[in-house]
Amino acid sequence: MSESITAFSRQVCSRLEKITSWAAGGGLDAAATALAETLAGGGVIQAFGTGHSEAFAMEIAGRAGGLIPTSKIALRDLVLHGTREVAALGTLEGSVLERDSSVAEELFDLSPVDPRDIFIIASNSGVNASIVGLALVAKARGHKVIAVTSLAHTNAVETKHPSGMRLSEIADIVIDNKAPFGDTTLEVSDGGGVGAVSSITGAYIAQLLTIETVQCLIRAGRKPPIYISANIPGGDDHNNALVGQYAGRLRREA
């Protein structure tokens, strides 16, 4: 095994340990309480991320062991449900639209959002225009916003939104994903870096949020609406019955 593999493992583990210590000390309490209160009040968790941060939204919405009242917003919704052409997505998904501040209102209006819903928005940089724009629209429409971002990165760069604001400056609750500036953790001898960590720490945070939200619901005497794997007996029946309670409010397109 190369030294780089060991070094990367140390980088990942040290960040997960920091997040664990922070969460164990109550760092997640405000976010988990807000999510649980939303679900108890009939609301849905609206998750959004662009680029690789869309993986965070997928970790929140629609997976085994996750909460059923969750919906994923994606830039491709502007094509699938709106009037944008496929070419607007660019050569890489979101490479054009994620920096376009004009998409936020349209994206919000195309999404199945209820006044009771809460938003959780992930962005490592926290400065792309679509991310900042959707957070601003959600706040303006009366929704609470939770941000998952790299404070080390976002505080070192300028926002790309005309408001001059970053995601971390808009959100009601901010969770630091502990990724370094630039995301990569290992330098390459001839320049650049490898070993990005934000997707790993983001997935871990998503699972911690789910776990703690479920615990909040249990402490309040409520049965948590959790997905079970469709690959075990009775899985589909269980899931379909609960999903049916939120007909028209959940979106999970790939």
Return the pLDDT at 85: 81
Return the pLDDT at 30: 98
Cβ 100 vs Cβ 84: under 8 Å: no
Return the pLDDT at 98: 87
Return the pLDDT at 64: 87
Cα separations in angstroms, 202 against 54, 125, 246:
10, 13, 26
Reported as a pLDDT band with limits 50, 70 and 90, residue 93 is very low
CA dist., res. 150 & res. 148, Å (int):
7
Return the pLDDT at 91: 57
Question: Averaged over 80-107, what is the pLDDT?
Answer: 80
Reported as a pLDDT band with limits 50, 70 and 90, residue 84 is confident
Spell out the residues 6+ positions from residue 253 whose beta carbon is closer than 8 angstroms to its own. Answer: 72, 74, 76, 77, 80
Q: Which long-range contacts (CB under 8 A, 24 or more apart) does 94-97 make?
A: 94/50, 94/51, 94/54, 94/130, 97/50, 97/130
Of 101-105, 167-171, 217-221, minimum mean pLDDT range:
101-105
- Assign residue 20 a region: left if phi > 0, alpha if psi is -120 to 50, beta otherwise? alpha
Q: Is the pLDDT of residue 131 over 90?
A: yes
Domain ranges of the chain: 3-246
Start-end of H helices in the chain: 3-22, 29-40, 54-60, 77-80, 103-110, 129-140, 151-154, 167-170, 198-219, 235-243
Q: Is the pLDDT of residue 254 over 70?
A: no
Reported as a pLDDT band with limits 50, 70 and 90, residue 242 is confident
What pTM does this model have? 0.94
101 vs 88 pLDDT, higher one: 101
Spell out the residues 6+ positions from residue 2 whose beta carbon is closer than 8 angstroms to its own. Answer: none
Reported as a pLDDT band with limits 50, 70 and 90, residue 235 is confident
Reported as a pLDDT band with limits 50, 70 and 90, residue 62 is confident
Question: Averaged over 59-76, what is the pLDDT?
Answer: 94
Average pLDDT of the chain to the nearest whole number:
93
Question: Averaged over 6-14, what is the pLDDT?
Answer: 97
Cα separations in angstroms, 84 against 36, 80, 91, 134, 246:
35, 8, 15, 17, 27
Cβ 75 vs Cβ 104: under 8 Å: no
**CATH class in words for 3-246:** alpha beta
What six digits make up the tokens of 71?
């919906």
Return the pLDDT at 126: 97
- Phi, psi dihedral angles at 184 (to 5 degrees): -80, 150
Reported as a pLDDT band with limits 50, 70 and 90, residue 10 is very high
Reported as a pLDDT band with limits 50, 70 and 90, residue 151 is very high
Question: Averaged over 121-141, what is the pLDDT?
Answer: 97
Question: Averaged over 184-206, what is the pLDDT?
Answer: 93
